[in-house]
Amino acid sequence: MYNETEIIKDTTELGPDGELVINMGPQHPATHGVLHLVVTLNGETIKKIEPHLGYIHRSIEKMCERLTYRQFIYVTSRMDYLSSHINNTACALLVEKGMQIEVPERAKVVRTILNELTRIASHELWIGAMAMDLGAFTPFFYAFREREMITDIMEDTCGARLTMNYIVPGGLMYDIHPAFQTNVKAFIKQFKEKVTEYEDLVTGNVIFQSRTKGVGVLTAEDAISYGCTGPVARASGVSCDMRKIAPYDAYDRVEFDEVIETDGDSFTRYLVRVKEMNQSIRIIEQLIDNIPEGEFVGKTKNVLKLAKGEFYQRVETARGELGVYIVSEGGTTPYRIKFRSPGFSNLSVLNHISKGSMIGDLMATMGTLDLVIPDIDR
């Protein structure tokens, strides 16, 4: 039926200049979710990467428009599920800002501690998963050992391990667990002892270094023009920590350094995240002994109604800047809600920084961008 040349043309999909188009994903172990990358290759060199989104689109923004200001917070846990606590905080802060709800000091401090614990847990998972992308299987278990302590703390206090929904407009849903402080202190002690193990296993490893150093270099100008935030931009020397720029909750009263490196390659992004974990520990140490007594939730009305107008709140999640934008018509539900998710901007830079590199380096670049696909698609 077909002559021989036609069959070859059909199966190899060679482009005009001998390009080969391969599909990475949607089901691929290194994309951590259902991300579909259409990679155009010339030999082993990447010519173009085109991310195809929408495989896990749940229209969260539209769903939120149907829910009241108490109800819509739980949905945001499902966006960036690794920093669900911080997403919930962003929404609660916005409702509090719009209604001028007074938040008790106790709630502010507990929120800050839990936010930092979430950040550590997210970075721990990222270290394990990224090392696994690059072929090292063991660090995954070491990272999850410490992460398990955090999820246990979350389970004790919030009642869930991943999608906590512990934050309500006005404070916290219920008071912290009596053993919260002891458990967090035990975690800090163990973390400080064991963090050197990551250094031994991953940071100092020659294979890891040679696979990440100089790979996927992002300059500061590109980071700004693509809207990168979080550790990705900070590794390129851009100061963008929302905890410093626009402090919320109890961040204005704690001392910590914004980790900024200038190299911008994959290894630097790794280092920034490891150093950020130590800074998070520093924040928790300052607050854990000084949780003020008192109410854990402020006085709120039974039915929450935002005034007519527009509201915006931004927080620093484990991946970067999360912005929540609400247009209210004065009713019990938002008229329009928009999330500015950090993952989407960080993904958009992927084509730019991996153009011209080898396909094997794409794993390192993608891993260090720390993509969470439900955050990108929402």
Supply the DSSP string of 74-136, one letter for each residue. HHHTTTSGGGHHHHHHHHHHHHHHHHTPPPPHHHHHHHHHHHHHHHHHHHHHHHHHHHHHTT-
Q: Which stretch binds another protein (CB under 8 A): 20-28, 171-179, 229-237, 279-287?
A: 171-179
Phi-psi region of 18 (alpha: psi -120 to 50; beta: other; left: phi over 0): left
- Is the torsion defined by CA of 104, 87, 129, 344 positive or negative? negative
Smallest gap from Cβ 150 to another protein, in A, equals 13
x/- map, 99-138, another protein, by CB under 8 A: ---------------------------------------x
Smallest gap from Cβ 40 to another protein, in A, equals 33
Q: Which stretch binds another protein (CB under 8 A): 120-128, 170-178, 214-222, 232-240?
A: 170-178
One residue of 43, 54, 135, 204 binding another protein per CB under 8 A: 204
Which residue is associated with the tokens 């970067």? Answer: 320
Nearest CA to 49 out of 343, 341, 359 is that of 359
Q: What is the number of alpha carbons within 13 Å of residue 66 lying toward its C-beta?
A: 5
Smallest gap from Cβ 68 to another protein, in A, equals 8
x/- map, 264-303, another protein, by CB under 8 A: ----------------------------------------
Q: Which stretch binds another protein (CB under 8 A): 54-62, 112-120, 156-164, 359-367?
A: 156-164
Q: Which stretch binds another protein (CB under 8 A): 113-121, 173-181, 319-327, 359-367?
A: 173-181
Burial 275-305 (b: 16+ CB within 10 A, else e): bbbebbbebbbbbbeebeeebbbeebeeebe
- Three-state DSSP class for 247? coil
One residue of 34, 35, 75, 347 binding another protein per CB under 8 A: 75
x/- map, 3-42, another protein, by CB under 8 A: ----------------------------------------
In angstroms, the CA 172 to CA 170 distance is: 7
Supply the DSSP string of 134-146, one letter for each residue. TT--HHHHHHHHH
Smallest gap from Cβ 181 to another protein, in A, equals 16
Q: Which is nearer to another protein, 31 or 88 (CB)?
A: 88
Asked if 181 is part of the footprint of another protein (rule: CB under 8 A), the reply reads no
One residue of 61, 156, 261, 263 binding another protein per CB under 8 A: 156
- Three-state DSSP class for 24? strand
- Fill in the DSSP letter of residue 251: G
Which residue is associated with the tokens 């270290």? Answer: 127
x/- map, 52-71, another protein, by CB under 8 A: ---------------x--xx
Asked if 207 is part of the footprint of another protein (rule: CB under 8 A), the reply reads yes
- Three-state DSSP class for 171? strand
In angstroms, the CA 364 to CA 361 distance is: 5
Asked if 163 is part of the footprint of another protein (rule: CB under 8 A), the reply reads yes
The beta strands (E) that lie in 30-75 are given as 36-42, 45-52
Asked if 197 is part of the footprint of another protein (rule: CB under 8 A), the reply reads yes
Residue type, position 19, single letter: E
One residue of 40, 42, 181, 205 binding another protein per CB under 8 A: 205
Q: Which is nearer to another protein, 81 or 258 (CB)?
A: 81
Residue ranges in contact with another protein by CB under 8 A: 67, 70-72, 74-75, 138, 145, 148, 152, 155-160, 163, 165, 168, 173-174, 177, 197, 200-201, 204-207
